């Protein structure tokens, strides 16, 4: 699973945010341009007043955009600017080119209209307005004289709509690419989620069910008094192993599910903090003390107390516990398990080495393949789910690290993972 499966806050509603961005830019630029035009066209007082009114409209629209009142902007800006364009075209004629702004209004409505009905009605109104303006200008003269800089204003009112349309196109094109990427990311995340569910069902259906079936059969035999004392002792030991395996599998599933849930509901898959690896290993040694005593296994912590890393404590502890459990499981009596770490400039490498049974090349290749997952019994006939390493690799990947295994059949195994040094 991936935390991209849920939209992040900055992605949710990004189309509305783009609408606000475009409208804010257009309002700010139009407001400034209107005031400049009012200043240079002040020889025509009606024209200057109309431009100041336009600047007021744009300022109010900018305020609405600032407070993200998207619905108000959707209605206020098209209606108010349409009214202004009608007045401006009737008052000063076509020599100022103000009717070109109707093109922007049409494009904005086509892209940002919230409903088809809203778009259709708005576009019909604008087309009717454009037709009315052209018809009126053919039969009636302008109401007011033009400013002396009318040719300059005509050029501006012709070029600005083209610039605005280009800006809108660029933003919309980028949003379309971003939208496509989000869809693809969510598709991949959904596929991962389905795969995760199927893997969990497989594990629960096999690894969790089998020990309970065994335990049920043993308890039935005991309840019917069909066993001798020696058989009871032997089967009780088997029952304990089945329960231990069930608990191990359940712990792995819960840890994996928890980290996936946490990853899906936060911006990061880890909670980084300063970790003393020497202390983590010391605590894990105590956790496995009883299991090590049964085999007379010695733990050797060669990690310097000064060795630290910034990482997720729970996830790294889970990984080291799993590696230690495997090392104990596959070690013979009177052997040693060694913990060590090496530091480079940009990363830290952690190692757990045992002197146990080791693995063949084929077994190594299948370790991280869920479909080829096999389980090996330990040196004391311990059972395993085969999930610990798979989960551990995912947790290390969360830290942008790597996990790998070096092993020789009959000579032991070294499991390593490296973590980048985070600031």
Whether the predicted pLDDT of 386 surpasses 70? no
Quote the pLDDT of residue 249. 66
Q: How confident is the model at residue 5 (pLDDT cuts 50, 70, 90)?
A: very low
pLDDT of residue 211: 66
Confidence of residue 39 (pLDDT cuts 50, 70, 90): very high
pLDDT (tens digit per residue) in 326-379:
899 899 999 999 999 999 888 999 999 999 888 888 888 877 766 655 667 777
The pLDDT value recorded for residue 205 is 61
- Least-confidence region, from 54-63, 268-277, 296-305, 334-343: 268-277
- Tell whether the model's pLDDT for residue 233 goes beyond 70: yes
Give me the pLDDT at residue 383, please.
61
pTM of the model: 0.50
**Which span out of 141-145, 199-203, 374-378 was modeled with the highest average pLDDT?**
141-145
Q: Are 35 and 47 in contact (CB under 8 A)?
A: no
pLDDT in tens, 42-86: 999 999 999 999 999 999 988 988 887 877 887 788 788 888 888
CATH code linked to domain 269-423: 3.30.565.10
Over residues 21-28, the mean pLDDT reads: 81
Considering the chain, what is the average pLDDT of its residues? 80
Residue 189 in this model has a pLDDT that exceeds 80: no
The confidence score (pLDDT) of residue 156 equals 82
Confidence at residue 179, expressed as pLDDT on a 0 to 100 scale: 77
Report the percentage of the chain scoring pLDDT > 70. 80
Average pLDDT over residues 82-92: 87
**Residue 91: pLDDT over 70:** yes
What pLDDT does residue 3 have? 42
CA dihedral sign, ordered 35, 41, 46, 47: negative
What pLDDT was estimated at residue 265?
46
Q: How far apart are CA 298 and CA 279, in angstroms?
A: 17
**Domain limits of the chain?**
10-186, 269-423
Residue 9 has pLDDT above 60, yes or no: no
More confident residue, 297 or 127: 297
Which of 25-29, 68-72, 194-198 is least confident? 194-198
Question: Which position has the higher pLDDT, 338 or 21?
Answer: 338
Q: What is the pLDDT of residue 398?
A: 83
| pLDDT score of 43 | 92
Say what the pLDDT of residue 107 is: 67
Q: What is the pLDDT of residues 389-403, one digit of tens each?
A: 888 888 898 889 999
Cα 72 to Cα 58: distance, rounded to the nearest angstrom = 13
């Amino acid at each position: 699973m991936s935390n991209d499966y849920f939209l992040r806050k900055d992605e949710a509603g990004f189309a509305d945010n783009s609408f606000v961005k475009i409208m804010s830019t257009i309002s700010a630029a139009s407001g400034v341009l209107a005031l400049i035009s009012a200043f240079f066209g002040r020889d025509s007082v009606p024209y200057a007043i109309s431009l100041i009114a336009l600047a007021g409209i744009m300022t109010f629209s900018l305020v609405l955009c600032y407070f993200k009142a998207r619905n108000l902007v959707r209605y206020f800006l098209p209606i108010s600017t349409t009214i202004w364009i009608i007045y401006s075209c009737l008052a000063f004629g076509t020599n100022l080119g103000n009717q070109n702004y109707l093109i922007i209004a049409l494009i904005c409505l086509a892209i940002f209209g919230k409903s088809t009905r809203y778009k259709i009605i708005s576009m019909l109104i604008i087309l009717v307005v454009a037709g009315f303006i052209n018809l009126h200008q053919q039969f009636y003269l302008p109401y007011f004289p033009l400013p002396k800089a009318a040719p300059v204003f005509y050029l501006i009112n012709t070029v600005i709509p083209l610039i605005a349309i280009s800006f809108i196109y660029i933003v919309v094109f980028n949003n379309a690419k971003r939208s496509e990427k989000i869809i693809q990311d969510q598709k991949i995340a959904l596929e991962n989620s389905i795969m995760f569910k199927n893997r969990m069902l497989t594990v629960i259906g096999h690894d969790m069910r089998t020990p309970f079936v065994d335990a049920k059969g043993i308890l039935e035999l005991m309840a019917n008094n069909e066993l001798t004392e020696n058989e009871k002792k032997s089967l009780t030991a088997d029952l304990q192993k089945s329960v231990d395996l069930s608990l191990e599998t359940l712990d792995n599933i819960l840890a994996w599910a928890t980290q996936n849930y946490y990853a899906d509901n936060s911006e990061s898959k880890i909670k980084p903090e300063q970790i003393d690896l020497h202390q983590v290993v010391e605590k894990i040694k105590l956790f496995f003390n009883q299991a090590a005593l049964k085999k007379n296994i010695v733990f050797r912590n060669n990690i310097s107390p000064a060795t630290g890393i910034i990482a997720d404590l729970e996830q790294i502890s889970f990984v080291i516990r799993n590696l230690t459990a495997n090392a104990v499981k596959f070690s013979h009596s009177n052997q040693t398990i060694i913990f060590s770490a090496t530091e480079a400039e940009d990363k830290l490498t952690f190692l757990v080495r045992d002197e146990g049974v080791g693995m063949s090349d084929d077994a190594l290749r299948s370790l991280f393949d869920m479909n080829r997952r096999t389980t090996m019994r330990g040196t004391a006939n311990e059972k395993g789910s085969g999930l610990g390493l798979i989960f551990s690799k995912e947790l290390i990947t969360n830290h942008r690290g790597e996990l790998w295994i070096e092993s020789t059949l009959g000579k032991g195994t070294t499991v390593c993972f490296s973590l980048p040094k985070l600031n």
